[in-house]
Amino acid sequence: MIFFSLFITLTLFGQRASDGELFFNKKQYTKARSVYESLLNKKPNDGLYNYRYARCCYELKDFETAIVHFEKAGNKYPVRDLYLGELYAKTYRFDESVVAYQTYIATLKPDDSKLTDLQQKVKQAEVGARLLTKVEDITIIDSIVVDKSDFLRAYKLSNELGTLRQEQLKLKGHRNVDKIQYSTQRGDRVYYSDTIQGQTDLFTSYKLFDAWSLPASVSKGINSPDNENYPFLMMDGITMYFASDGENSMGGYDLFITRYMPSTDSFLPPENIGMPFNSPANDYMMVIDEQRKTGWFATDRNMASAKVMIYTFVPNQAKQIVRTGNKDSLLQVAKLKIYRKAIRILKDSSVVKDSILPESEKLIEFVINDSVVYTHLNQFKSEKAIKLWAELHKMTVELKNIQTQLDNSRLQYNSTENQEERTLTATKIIELERKNIELNNLISLKKIEIRNTENNFLHKAL
């Protein structure tokens, strides 16, 4: 009887394995995953089941689970390192991605046609690892999901910035490519993308009287054997942002910055602007409005097909690097999973979401602790601390008003000889001095509260 039960169990187990293989080979990954999940409950260390379960999770975009089971599959299936290289990069484990790709490359013959592409992926992972050490701390004003086909409608450019126009080019293989044209505010110069034999590069043209100059490549230092697109020239006339999927990107389009040098009539070597603006997905169309302290960029990370996220943010005057020993927190910032939300502090110091102060009023000098001094309002990490700063700002404005009244009252007291008026003014001065002392004490306590709130937030982040 025991033998018969064991026979039935093995038969059913073999049937499930056969079903899993059938679904897997037919690319019915949802059904196959269900079968292999059941099989792994019985044999959790089986290399084949782990590999195929991981493949199913990979195809179904469950990347974290796929990584776990590819790792459990062991070295019996070398192609698993190819998948791990890609998945580690997608999940910002760039150093591990380099190792996985190199492990897979070692199994190939020297003349394998895949080597060039794989070596490029190694370089991209190395770029990602380098950029992860210098993640910028940015403030997000808003984010919106729009159709990729007309994403520029989310960019609210002022007239001074010039204009952007988007066309859709249809290439061979039913591939659509954006053709972007940026025109200066005066309308005498354009930068645009176009395709040559399926490759996208940047070109420029000048208006000469009533005609336009022949299109010319922007720069050999910008246009590469890969794709360059999405140009934008800042109001200074020398700073250009664009996107490239070349070797200095970490996969897909990355955003780059370069500057024109009149002395050499050329652009400087482009620089990857880093995370969190860039990711292993496609990131592009950086626009900066310096006058209004607003910027925009687009990304398709974590987006459905044909959709794109447009982030509106506050450009930093100087790059502010995230300083934390907590790797998980750093990754969350790099992925734009967490970020500072912009808040406006109005003249009356009421706090309004999604807006910001004029830049001159955000410059501060505030001691947080023995090693940290904030010089800009956007450096605060805690929204509660920012709201407390709004209260402090209101108290400071009130204190200035009191001090102005005191100065005026003292002048009035000294300039009048009328005894009754002097008595009334003296009473007013005494009351104003009392308010001055009380408010100074309250301001001192508010500063301590802000300091403690921000330090507690920083401590929890670690």
Read off the pLDDT of residues 377-392 as tens digits, 9 standing for 90 and up: 778 888 899 889 889 9
- Do 43 and 95 fall into the same domain? yes
Contact between residue 385 and residue 426 where contact means Cβ atoms under 8 Å apart: no
pLDDT at position 357 is 53
pLDDT at position 343: 52
Partnered with residue 376 across adjacent β-strands are 363
Query: Would residue 4 count as lying in a domain?
Result: no
pLDDT at residue 351, as a whole number: 41
Q: pLDDT tens digits for 20-78?
A: 889 999 999 999 999 999 999 999 999 999 999 999 999 999 999 999 999 999 988 99
**Co-location of 277 and 389 in the same domain:** no
Residues 121 and 146 in one domain: no
Residue that terminates a domain, selected from 133, 159, 190: 133
Return d(Cα 97, Cα 222) in angstroms, integer.
Answer: 27
Quote the tokens at residue 294. 């607003």
Given the structure tokens 């927190």, which residue do they identify? 329
Q: Are 204 and 191 in contact (CB under 8 A)?
A: yes
Q: Checking phi first, is residue 160 left (phi over 0); if not, alpha (psi -120 to 50) or beta? A: alpha
Number of other residues whose CB lies within 10 A of the CB of residue 354: 12
In a domain, 344, yes or no: no
Give domain status of residue 43, yes or no: yes
Q: Flag the least confident range among 160-164, 239-243, 404-408.
A: 404-408
User: Domain for residue 310, yes or no?
Assistant: yes
Contact between residue 141 and residue 342 where contact means Cβ atoms under 8 Å apart: yes
Do the Cβ atoms of 320 and 136 come closer than 8 Å?
Answer: yes
- Say yes or no: 228 and 304 in one domain: yes
The band of 360, judged by pLDDT with boundaries at 50, 70 and 90, is: low
Assess whether 127 and 176 both reside in one domain: no
How many angstroms separate the CA atoms of 387 and 53, rounded? 49
Band (pLDDT 50/70/90 cuts) for residue 461 is low
Query: CA dihedral in degrees (294, 397, 401, 429; nearest 10)?
Result: -170
Within 13 Å of residue 72, how many CA atoms lie on the same side as its CB?
20
DSSP H or E segment with residue 121? helix 115-131
Residue 218, SS3?
coil
Residues 213 and 74 in one domain: no
The per-residue pLDDT for 358 is 54
* Whether residues 164 and 276 fall in one domain: yes
DSSP state of 342: P
pLDDT at 102 over 90: yes
Q: Specify whether 36 is located in the same domain as 126.
A: yes
State the pLDDT at residue 292.
86
> E strands of 151-238, at which residues?
163-171, 175-183, 189-196, 199-208, 211-212, 216-217, 228-233
Packing angle of the helix pair 47-59, 29-42 (nearest 10 deg): 150
Question: Which residue range(s) make up the domain with 383?
Answer: 351-461
pTM: 0.72
Give the pLDDT confidence score for residue 248 in this predicted structure.
92
325 band by pLDDT with thresholds 50, 70 and 90: confident
Neighbours of 204 (CB within 10 A): 18
Q: Does the pLDDT value for residue 344 go beyond 50?
A: no
Last residue of a domain, one of 133, 149, 164: 133
- CA-to-CA distance for 327 and 376, rounded, in angstroms? 25
Is 345 inside a domain boundary? no
Residue 445 lies in a domain: yes
Which domain-ending residue is among 81, 105, 133?
133
Average pLDDT over residues 286-291: 93
**pLDDT single digits (tens) 213-226:** 999 999 988 999 99
* Cα 425 from Cα 423, distance rounded (Å): 5
Per-residue pLDDT averaged across 124-140, rounded?
A: 95
**Is residue 162 domain-shared with residue 266, that is, in the same domain?**
yes
Q: Quick one: pLDDT at residue 14?
A: 54
Share of residues in the chain with pLDDT > 90 (%): 55
How many structural domains are present in the chain? 3
Q: What is the DSSP letter of 321?
A: B
144 and 275 part of one domain: yes
Over 70: is that where the pLDDT of 11 sits?
no
Q: What pLDDT, on the 0 to 100 scale, is given for residue 361?
A: 59
Q: Is residue 342 part of a domain?
A: no
The predicted structure's pLDDT at residue 3: 46
Mean of per-residue pLDDT scores for the chain? 87
**What is the greatest pairwise CA distance in the chain?**
121
Token reading at 281: 């997905």
Query: 174 by DSSP, 3-state: which?
Result: coil
Same domain (yes/no): 127, 141: no
Question: What's the average model confidence in pLDDT over 153-162?
Answer: 91
Q: How confident is the model at residue 347 (pLDDT cuts 50, 70, 90)?
A: very low
105 band by pLDDT with thresholds 50, 70 and 90: very high
Angstrom distance (rounded) from CA 277 to CA 286: 9
Say if residue 65 is in the same domain as residue 149: no
Mean pLDDT, rounded, for 77-93: 95
Bridge partners for 288 per DSSP: 295
- Tell me how far CA of residue 236 lies from CA of 185, 187, 288, 428, in angstroms: 12, 15, 11, 53
Higher-pLDDT residue of 353 and 432 is 432
Q: What is the pLDDT of residue 17?
A: 81
Predicted confidence (pLDDT) at residue 9 exceeds the cutoff of 50: no
What pLDDT sits at residue 462?
Answer: 62
CATH number at residue 104: 1.25.40.10
